[in-house]
């Protein structure tokens, strides 16, 4: 019988479809089909019958069959071939397949399992054994469908998480732009001194911040800050600290005050650190703290006055290219009430320069268990003594990448290069 005729014949005799556990009995023996269908009907299943493998395939295409009991030996399409084709059909759920056979040879049983059969029943079929095999199939189908439902839930949840992640990622990209905008100028020429800045977060946003600000005709200020932790919270803290230090007047910048004659002058960096420490502990409800170097430079005589608050030691590079560290260490800001901070003064000569670096540089890993360290930084800086400004930082990052075997930096990297070209002749 042609496939189209089989479909028409099936549609005329198909019973009303059940809701749960539709079972298909496939056997060329009408008597055997009736015996099996009688068992299954009494047990509450909706039963479909097919006298051949081809008719069974038609039913499988048109009905949601949960479980199949099929004879192995049939004319035309055997039960084994039917099982093989059945496994290629597109289905939403798994279909359990039981082969009826008089075969007991292990190789033949293995062949049946190999093409996709789940279980076997030996003919003649006993009702209690059939029920036991059906119940076992039900348990497997139940577990499979529960697993599918859970997988659908996981997939749906992952899709929601992915959408949220994409939204967060877009927000972080914008946040990175905003944080980078806190450092409006990466280079400033003050005539007898030049300042260059480097700011490279390890993620979208970071906790490092560097900057400079004018004070008066002779002085300008610089600051290098490293907020504890990483990510959004640290970035928000840097934005708030920037508001305290980036203004150019005494009412906008904590590091600037007014003299008796009304001119702007630098405030003691140690006093500024004390003020920030009080603000962190009394007005900001946060567990964050930060390290900092805040200082002001006089471009007429090369004098640099700073306070060091737990930040890595700054370095001076002499005219001959050699490098040495200076500073007094000090406590981080936001940890200890009434902490004491001190000013440190250093005089540099024409052609010398000061380098302020975050610990993301000295703690840059070597790709294994080591890190750059202070000695490694000295070597690195001495090797690029002839470079200035952005070229200095570009080469420094290149060398750090090579040192780290081109891996991602685990911490933010920030730096200030203050180069003194000589006393003012004005």
Q: What is the mean pLDDT of residues 173-181?
A: 66
Q: How many domains does the chain have?
A: 2
- pLDDT at residue 9, rounded to an integer: 47
> Quick count: other Cβ atoms within 10 Å of Cβ 322?
12
Residues 143 and 202 in one domain: no
Q: What is the mean pLDDT of residues 100-105?
A: 74
Residues 242 and 387 in one domain: yes
Residues 272 and 405 in one domain: yes
Residues 147 and 186 in one domain: no
Token pair for 332: 């981080």
Please state, in angstroms and as integers, the Cα–Cα distance from residue 271 to each residue in 193, 252, 341, 392, following that order: 25, 16, 7, 32
- pLDDT at residue 35, rounded to an integer: 92
Instruction: Give a yes or no: residue 120 inside a domain.
Output: yes
Instruction: Give a yes or no: residue 426 inside a domain.
Output: no
- pLDDT at residue 302, rounded to an integer: 95
Q: Give the pTM.
A: 0.64
Instruction: Give a yes or no: residue 102 inside a domain.
Output: yes
pLDDT band at 261 (very low <50, low <70, confident <90, very high): confident
Residues 146 and 204 in one domain: no
- pLDDT at residue 171, rounded to an integer: 66
Residues 143 and 192 in one domain: no
Cβ burial, residue 239 (10 Å; 0-12/13-18/19+) = middle
pLDDT band at 11 (very low <50, low <70, confident <90, very high): very low
CATH number at residue 344: 3.60.40.10
pLDDT band at 19 (very low <50, low <70, confident <90, very high): very low
Instruction: Give a yes or no: residue 165 inside a domain.
Output: no
Q: Cα separation of 122 and 349, whole Å?
A: 101
pLDDT tens for 293-303 read 999 999 999 99
pLDDT band at 142 (very low <50, low <70, confident <90, very high): confident
pLDDT tens for 276-320 read 999 999 887 788 899 999 999 999 999 999 999 999 999 999 999
Residues 104 and 230 in one domain: no
pLDDT band at 377 (very low <50, low <70, confident <90, very high): very high
Q: What is the mean pLDDT of residues 190-196?
A: 94
Residues 120 and 227 in one domain: no
Q: What is the mean pLDDT of residues 32-60?
A: 92
Mean pLDDT across the chain, nearest whole number? 86
Does 20 score more than 80 pLDDT?
no
- pLDDT at residue 204, rounded to an integer: 67
pLDDT band at 103 (very low <50, low <70, confident <90, very high): low
Which residue range(s) make up the domain with 230? 182-420
């Amino acid at each position: 019988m042609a496939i189209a005729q089989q479909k028409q014949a099936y549609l005329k005799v198909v019973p009303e479809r059940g809701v749960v556990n539709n079972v298909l009995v496939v056997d060329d023996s009408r008597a055997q089909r009736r015996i099996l269908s009688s068992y299954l009907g009494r047990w509450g299943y909706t039963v479909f019958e097919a006298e051949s493998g081809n008719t069974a395939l038609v039913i499988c295409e048109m009905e949601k069959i949960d479980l199949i009991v099929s004879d192995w030996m049939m004319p035309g399409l055997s039960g084994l071939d039917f099982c093989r084709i059945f496994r290629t059909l597109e289905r939403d759920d798994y279909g359990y397949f039981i082969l009826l056979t008089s075969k007991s040879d292990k190789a033949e049983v293995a062949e049946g399992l190999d093409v996709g059969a789940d279980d076997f029943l030996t003919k003649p079929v006993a009702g209690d054994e059939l029920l036991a095999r059906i119940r076992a199939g039900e348990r497997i189908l139940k577990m499979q469908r529960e697993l599918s439902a859970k997988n659908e839930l996981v997939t749906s949840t992952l899709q929601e998480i992915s959408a949220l992640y994409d939204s967060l990622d877009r927000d972080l990209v914008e946040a990175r732009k905003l944080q980078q905008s806190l450092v409006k100028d990466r280079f400033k020429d003050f005539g007898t001194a030049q300042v260059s800045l480097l700011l490279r977060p390890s993620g979208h946003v970071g906790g490092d911040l560097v900057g400079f600000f004018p004070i008066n005709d002779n002085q300008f200020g610089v600051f290098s800050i490293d907020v504890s932790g990483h990510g959004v919270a640290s970035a928000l803290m840097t934005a708030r600290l920037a508001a305290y230090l980036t203004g150019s007047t005494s009412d906008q910048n904590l590091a600037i005050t007014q003299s008796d004659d009304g001119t702007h002058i630098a405030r003691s960096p140690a006093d500024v650190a004390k003020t920030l420490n009080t603000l962190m502990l009394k007005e900001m409800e946060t567990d964050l703290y930060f390290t900092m170097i805040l200082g002001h430079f006089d471009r007429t005589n090369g004098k640099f006055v700073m306070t060091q608050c737990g930040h890595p030691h700054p370095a001076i590079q002499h005219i001959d290219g050699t490098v040495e560290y200076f500073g007094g260490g000090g406590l981080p800001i936001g940890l200890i009430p009434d902490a004491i901070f001190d000013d440190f003064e250093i005089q540099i000569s024409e052609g010398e320069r000061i380098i302020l670096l975050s610990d993301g540089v000295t703690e840059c890993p070597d790709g294994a268990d080591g890190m750059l360290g202070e000695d490694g930084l000295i070597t690195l800086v001495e090797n690029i003594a002839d470079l200035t400004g952005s070229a200095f930082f570009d080469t420094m990052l290149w060398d750090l990448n090579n040192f780290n075997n081109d891996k991602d930096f685990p911490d933010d990297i920030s730096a200030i290069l203050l180069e003194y070209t000589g006393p003012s002749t004005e």
